[in-house]
Structure 1
Amino acid sequence: MADRSEAEQVGLRFLTSAFRLRRVVDRHMMASGLSLARAKALQVLDQQGPLRQASLAAELDMAARSVTQAVEALERDGLVERTADPTDRRAKVVVITEDGAAALAAGLSAGERVLQGVFDALGPEQLETLNGLLATIDERVTTA
């Protein structure tokens, strides 16, 4: 078992690498017109269909106020539409538009190209090992 300082050093290196990768993916996605954060909201709507804003917030693990601001910005850009929920006029239902779906496809494609370029440097065995290690880390994080 690695001593604590070695584990901490590797953990910090992991966090730094993940942050850098996220920043590069986000930069490339933004060049195609959609940030990673905005893509996540659109992706949930694309996969699950129309959702109440409260449900979207829960899916994104975000505060309701933050999602409201994000949805308002997406709506201004024509990427989503909001309507009153027919069963509860106080609630808003959010749906992705055709322009939103097109922006999502372009953004995801840009992000995928970056990830492909980065992870292509690993061979199949390395990818399998990394995938297993990430699964172990994810499991530990969810139980922490």
Structure 2
Amino acid sequence: MGLSFLTLAYTLREQVDQYMLATAGLSLSRTKVLQALASCGALHQAQLAASLGQAPRSVTQIVEGLERLGMVARTGDPEDRRRKTVSITHAGRTVLRAAEEAGIHALRQRFGRLEPQQLATLDTLLAHLDIALTGGKAG
């Protein structure tokens, strides 16, 4: 059962990622970086990596790509030239909105095939799984 869940989750993530990339031109991993910056404001790259639970080098590569596309801006820290502060640009916010809409559309297409009761059951089961995995409380 666990392997089936992981396989399904991977397939769903790949399908949503491909749809977002094809429709909005932004991958899911880049979308997550832009979402973090949009909600938290400008962050040092190390803070950004920590907030995403990713390795700093992975986030640096994503940020470099987003910077080349004009979606984020990096500025140096006057006290430590090695530290960079990353902020989302107007272009980044525009593309982020399109990517989020594409992601929602892709998920609605896939989950829209389920009956309302099935969706409610799935939501409950996922909440219980979240509690089991994180020790958090259902929300």
In the alignment, which residue of structure 2 is the partner of 1:22?
Answer: 13
SS at match of 2:75: strand
CA deviation digits over 1:47-70, x for unaligned, max 9?
Answer: 111111111000111111111111
Measured after TM superposition, the shift of residue 119 of structure 1 is: 1.3
**Cα distance in 1, alignment partners of residues 40 and 113 from structure 2:** 34
Unaligned runs of 5+ residues in structure 2 are none
- Count, aligned residues: 134
Name the Cα RMSD after superposition: 1.4
Which amino acid letter does the alignment assign opposite residue 40 of structure 1? K
TM-score (norm: length of structure 2): 0.89
| Residue in structure 2 matching 1:75, options 47, 63, 67 | 67
State which of 78, 99, 116 in structure 2 corresponds to 1:124: 116
Structure 1 or 2, whichever has the larger Rg, is 1
Structure 2: distance between partners of 1:90 and 1:15: 38
Q: 3-state DSSP class of the match of 2:114?
A: coil
Which residue of the partner structure matches residue 105 of structure 2?
113
How far residue 125 of structure 1 moved from its aligned partner, in angstroms, is 2.1
SS of the equivalent of 1:83 reads strand
Segments of 5+ residues of structure 1 without an aligned counterpart are 1-9
Match of 2:86 in 1: 94
Percent of pairs with identical residues:
53
TM-score with structure 1 setting the length: 0.86
